[in-house]
Amino acid sequence: MALPTKGRVIIDTTAGEIDIELWSKETPKTCRNFLALAMEGYYDNVIFHRVVPGFLVQTGDKTGTGAGGESFYGDPFEDEIHPRLRFAHRGLVAMANNGTRNSNDSQFFITLDRADELQGKHTLFGRVMGDTVYNVMKIGETEIDKKTERPIYPPKIQTIRIIDNPFPDIVPRITAAERREQLKVRQQAQREREEADRRKGAKKNTKLLSFGADEDAEEEPVVFAKKSMFRPDLVDNPTSGVTIPSPLAPLSAPTNQPNSTSKAEESKTSKSTRDKELDITKIREQHANEQAAAQNSRRAEIEKMEAEIRKITKRKTGEDSDEESSKKKVKKSYLEEELSKYAKGRGLHKKAKDGRKKDESDVLAALNSFRGRLQGPMVVDDLDDEANNEERGDTLVADGPGEEAGIEVDNDTGFLGHALHFPKDNTEETDKAERDYEVIDPRQRGARAREEERERKKLANKGKGGGRYRR
């Protein structure tokens, strides 16, 4: 049973809430320091700067380096080692120090497992309650730099809410709201200084395009470097006798007399142009011929394939052409030949002695009528024998006027409606089985044999004792 304690806080972190129970009776000075710093908002936005997987997570340093921190008392305070408080399991809250005794300030850690090696070296002042210990384990699984044991993306304490304060006489030096306002003012001043430094050291580049921010800056005219263009085909104009000078050629006075050299060049140029046009025409004609030949060959292949498909279709449907039917004779299969032989020997095709076919229509009619009776409804009548005989048509008729009646005519059709019936209860057969058949149980036989053996021994002992006479 846990002893009653006084003191409880909830640490809101980026990994979730951590509910901590404080042991203010065993460690009053440490708990007072922790609660006072929480009231002042000292732990707000402080990161977990050290994570040792499977051992502990550490926080409480305002600088985030692990080398800072200050206590509520101004100077580091002494340890409060209690003999009944031990590092026996995970979720225990203790003060961190610099490796020497009595050097506690604001840093604290939470264990992730049993830590007997910390016993007597650190002040244990609380424990994590309930399921919030899993949030501590989540912080312990954060990705870290193995050399420095520092998280790459460190979790952060957002704020600490005091649920139960066992020290109502604590007077904070500054409230958490005032500390937040001071932090905002400090951050705003820092931003203003950085903005001023940025404006002071910035230089305007007037060569860049302006979008309205630097309207006062003078814009320099953009000079584009022109590249000289030279077209040999435009230098000499074959239609006129005047030569057009190129931009790179030196200017000379125009002459009215055409030059013989220019005429030769003109003739060469026109000849080469005509040759090129002829070559292009030949190439186009050759390409058109190739395309036409390819189309013709493709059309021929398509027609050939269509003809083959038509042949295959005719073979499947049995619609051969007249020429193929005249050339090929239809061959009968072995089954058809045997069926034709059987049909020839059937009674239907037998002829009477006079040469005419035998009429068997009456036989077929009788078979059809019999088949109809069989397929008709089965009617079961529970009439007496005479009524049944009358309904069946079993009558005794005389063969003639002078003969006696007594000849039975076979006109019984009642058998078609006969049904098989069994009695509802079979007590007669059951009684017969019980009477005629004996059920032998091996256990009863064994018990009976043992009983007979005891009776036999009893009688034997009685016979032996009967010859003695006791006075």
Active site residue 58: yes
3-class SS of residue 158: strand
Q: Which of these, 88, 93, 86, 69, lies nearest to 11 by C-alpha position?
A: 93
244 CB-near residues (< 8 Å, 6+ apart): 234, 235, 236, 237
Catalytic residue among 32, 50, 90, 150: 50
Catalytic residue among 22, 32, 58, 150: 58
Active site residue 109: yes
C-alpha span between 232 and 240 (Å, rounded): 16
The two structure tokens encoding residue 332: 């009968």
Alpha helix segments (H runs only) across 318-355: 322-327, 334-344
Max intra-chain CA distance, the chain: 194
Could you please report the per-residue DSSP string of 103-118? -B-S-EEEESS--GGG
Active site residue 124: no
C-alpha span between 303 and 142 (Å, rounded): 76
Active site residue 50: yes
Q: What is the CA radius of gyration of the chain?
A: 63
Active site residue 122: yes
Question: Across the strands, what pairs with 351?
Answer: 357
C-alpha span between 344 and 432 (Å, rounded): 63
Active site residue 55: yes
> Where does residue 76 rank: exposed (0-12), middle (13-18), buried (19+ CB within 10 A)?
middle
Identify whether the C-beta of residue 59 lies closer than 8 Å to the C-beta of residue 155. no
The alpha carbon of 88 is separated from its chain's Cα centroid by a whole number of angstroms, namely 44
395 CB-near residues (< 8 Å, 6+ apart): 389, 409, 411
C-alpha span between 124 and 91 (Å, rounded): 11
Identify whether the C-beta of residue 88 lies closer than 8 Å to the C-beta of residue 82. no
C-alpha span between 271 and 17 (Å, rounded): 95
The two structure tokens encoding residue 106: 């604001």
C-alpha span between 227 and 310 (Å, rounded): 71
Active site residue 97: yes
For 277: left if phi > 0, alpha if psi spans -120 to 50, otherwise beta; the answer is alpha
For 98, other C-beta atoms within 10 Å of its C-beta total 12
**What is the signed CA dihedral for 246, 250, 253, 259, rounded to 10 degrees?**
-60
Catalytic residue among 8, 49, 90, 122: 122
Strands 92-95, 108-111: pairing is: antiparallel
C-alpha span between 93 and 363 (Å, rounded): 113
Catalytic residue among 72, 77, 87, 109: 109
Catalytic residue among 55, 179, 180, 389: 55
Which residue type is seen at 12? D
Catalytic residue among 118, 119, 389, 392: 118
- Residues designated catalytic: 50, 55, 58, 97, 109, 118, 122
